[in-house]
Amino acid sequence: MTSVTHPVARAGTGPLAHLVDVAYAVGGRPVFDGLNISIARGSVTAIMGPSGTGKTTLLRLITGQIRPGRGRVEVAGEDLAALDTDGLYRLRRRMGMLFQNGALLTDLDVYENVAFPLREHTQLPECLIARTVLMKLQAVGLRGAARLMPAELSGGMSRRVALARAIVMDPEILIYDEPFAGLDPIALGVVLRLIRETNDALGLTSIVVSHDVHVIGQLADHTYLLSSGKVVAEGSPAELERDPAPVVHQFMAGEADGPVPFHYPAPDYAAQLLGAEVPA
């Protein structure tokens, strides 16, 4: 697959998203502490890490859905902490996000789902809305499914419709939360190709959260590996494969036990069995 950087993506300088010394805690439990991440313009950047390391939380920080306890989050040159709700909504018009389950509006059909952002944010005449929607649906191969309801779509189709909806306002940044989870190999291949082609053809910057090492190896330009609230490794997928750090090796090789233990912290096994204690 050839990667072609779009002229628009080349126009900007510096990272499109920048997290500096970010700390975030939930109920006193730290999720991130001193997190530093930089997302280059025009690239596909992957965020990987074991389950529970806060990958989705990181996306919520980048989209301004939550605010860090410490540190700075900058997206498209805007410091999110300085934005009020209107400012945040203005910034989000430049972003698109694809949720794990597609998050299509279940009372609207495919066509209306894709048209939704246009109807909410523009005064375009119906003929222009129709053309834009059909073009986006054609791009994801679902023009023929325009009048289907979300309940009639497969998982892969839902994600393709969600992708069409995410790009209908021509955003600068596209964010994908686990876009490959639960897909069959054909649907996975389709979504993988669409993410790459959409990024390159529209000159976007894409952030993909996933723990599928194999797929990310084919897709990402740059990868961050998170563990214990910090970046433990970064680089191209090939560089991560060669990284000797135990936690990186365990994740990339898919080993069950290692620095990320198989067992959740628990009292002594023998003592608990002999005492026949019921876990409190």
Partner 1 sequence: MSVAGELLLSGRELLQKWGRFTLFTARLLAVSPRALGRFRLVVAQVYNAGALSLVIIMLSGLFVGMVLGLQGYDLLRRFGSTEALGTAAALGLLRELGPVVTALLFAGRAGTALASEIGLMSATDQLSAMEMMAVDPVRRVCAPRFIGGVIAMPLLAAIFSTIGIFGAQLVGVTLMGVDSGQFWSQMRGSVELADVVEGIIKSIAFGFACSAIAVYEGYHAVPTAEGVGRATTRTVVTSSVAVLALDYTLTAMLL
How many C-beta neighbours within 10 Å does residue 69 have? 13
Min dist CB 75 to partner 1, Å, is: 13
How many residues contact partner 1, by CB under 8 A?
A: 23
Min dist CB 262 to partner 1, Å, is: 27
Residues in 13-52 at the binding interface with partner 1, rule: CB under 8 A: none
Q: Does 56 bind partner 1 (CB under 8 A)?
A: no
Residues in 147-186 at the binding interface with partner 1, rule: CB under 8 A: 162, 165, 169
Min dist CB 118 to partner 1, Å, is: 10
Judged by beta carbon, residue 111 or residue 251, the one nearer partner 1 is 111
Give the three-class secondary structure for 153: coil
Min dist CB 92 to partner 1, Å, is: 4
Judged by beta carbon, residue 117 or residue 155, the one nearer partner 1 is 117
Min dist CB 108 to partner 1, Å, is: 10
How many C-beta neighbours within 10 Å does residue 199 have? 24
Judged by beta carbon, residue 122 or residue 218, the one nearer partner 1 is 122
Judged by beta carbon, residue 89 or residue 258, the one nearer partner 1 is 89
Judged by beta carbon, residue 107 or residue 268, the one nearer partner 1 is 107
How many angstroms separate the CA atoms of 40 and 204, rounded?
10
Residues in 116-145 at the binding interface with partner 1, rule: CB under 8 A: 116-117, 120-121
Strand-pair category, 44-48 with 205-209: parallel
String of contacts with partner 1 for each residue 78-117, x by CB under 8 A: -----------xx-xx-xxx-xxx-xxxx---------xx
How many angstroms separate the CA atoms of 146 and 109, rounded?
7
Judged by beta carbon, residue 97 or residue 240, the one nearer partner 1 is 97
Min dist CB 117 to partner 1, Å, is: 5
Min dist CB 225 to partner 1, Å, is: 25
Residues in 230-259 at the binding interface with partner 1, rule: CB under 8 A: none
Min dist CB 169 to partner 1, Å, is: 8
DSSP string of the chain, one letter each residue: ------HHHHHS-SEEEEEEEEEEEETTEEEEEEEEEEEETT-EEEEE-STTSSHHHHHHHHTTSS--SEEEEEETTEEGGG--HHHHHHHHTTEEEE-TT----TTS-HHHHHHHHHHHH----HHHHHHHHHHHHHHTT-GGGTT--GGGS-HHHHHHHHHHHHHTT--SEEEEESTTTT--HHHHHHHHHHHHHHHHHHT-EEEEE---HHHHHHH-SEEEEEETTEEEEEE-HHHHHH---HHHHHHHHT-SSSSS-SSPS-S-HHHHHHHTPPP-
Judged by beta carbon, residue 171 or residue 237, the one nearer partner 1 is 171
What residues make contact with partner 1 under the rule CB under 8 A? 63, 65, 89-90, 92-93, 95-97, 99-101, 103-106, 116-117, 120-121, 162, 165, 169
